[in-house]
Amino acid sequence: MPGSPLHAKNVGELTYPAGAPKIISDFRSRVNVRGGVRRSLHQGIDVAGPNGTRIIAAANGRVLETDVGSCWGPTVVIDHGNGWDGKRLIAAYGHLGQMQVVSGQNIRRGQLIGTLGDNQRDFRCIGGVRHLHFQLGRAWRGPEKGTFWGHMRYLQDGKRGTNPHQYWADGPNRVTCFEPGRSYPAGTLTYPVPCAGGS
């Protein structure tokens, strides 16, 4: 429950625009997607959705990698360039059903990059609940994976995730839906799932 010791505070309480799907396991939360207790702090945000839910790019960028991890399942990694603070934003979009982009492809904010599928029981890290895991880091792991798995397979700093709530286009802790035709400040992010009535 919000306010319990299992829920870490970010900068402040999140605000959602109308139609934005809610986060079911937040950044630095100890609560997992099934409502149980995590062994370690969550390093991304989890947003559940029905089969076929569109996953969209949170900003302009270049696809660094598309991969099917043994635990994370289908995953797209995108270099979104520098954030408003001058620090790199590498995003891992994990637990997808289908991927709609390829490595090396340039993408635009709001572009379809994948969909959720019915594979939530096929990959252990998805935890039996269909959802997007969206995680930010500063450094891509690259093609040499070694024995790394989970978020560490994609982000060198996977155990020290970057707080996405600091980068929403409408301001810190203000989840921002993508709206076609709207201009967004450089170095900011929009929600990686469409909002009702949006894209």
151-173 pLDDT, tens digit each? 999 999 988 999 999 999 999 99
Query: Does residue 32 sit within a domain?
Result: yes
CA 37 to chain centre: 20
Domain that holds residue 127: 23-166
35-39, 97-101, 163-167: lowest mean pLDDT where? 35-39
Query: Does residue 192 sit within a domain?
Result: no
What distances in angstroms separate CA 57 from CA 46, 54, 126, 145, one per listed residue? 15, 10, 20, 24
Query: Does residue 15 sit within a domain?
Result: no
Query: Does residue 196 sit within a domain?
Result: no
DSSP count for the chain of H helices, then E strands: 0, 10
Q: What residues are paired with 91 via a beta bridge?
A: 78, 136
Whether 90 contacts 136, CB under 8 Å: yes
Q: What pTM does this model have?
A: 0.91
Q: Tokens 């994976």 — which residue?
A: 145
Query: Does residue 107 sit within a domain?
Result: yes
Q: Are strands 61-69 and 73-82 parallel, antiparallel or unpaired?
A: antiparallel
Q: Is the pLDDT of residue 190 over 90?
A: yes
Q: What residues are paired with 170 via a beta bridge?
A: none
User: Looking at the 3D structure of the chain, how many domains does it have?
Assistant: 1
CATH number of the domain enclosing 113: 2.70.70.10
Range 96-105 average pLDDT:
98
Helix (H, G, I), strand (E, B) or coil at 160: helix
Query: Does residue 56 sit within a domain?
Result: yes
Query: Does residue 8 sit within a domain?
Result: no
Task: Compute the mean pLDDT over every residue in the chain, rounded to the nearest whole number.
Answer: 90
Query: Does residue 10 sit within a domain?
Result: no
Whether 153 contacts 141, CB under 8 Å: yes
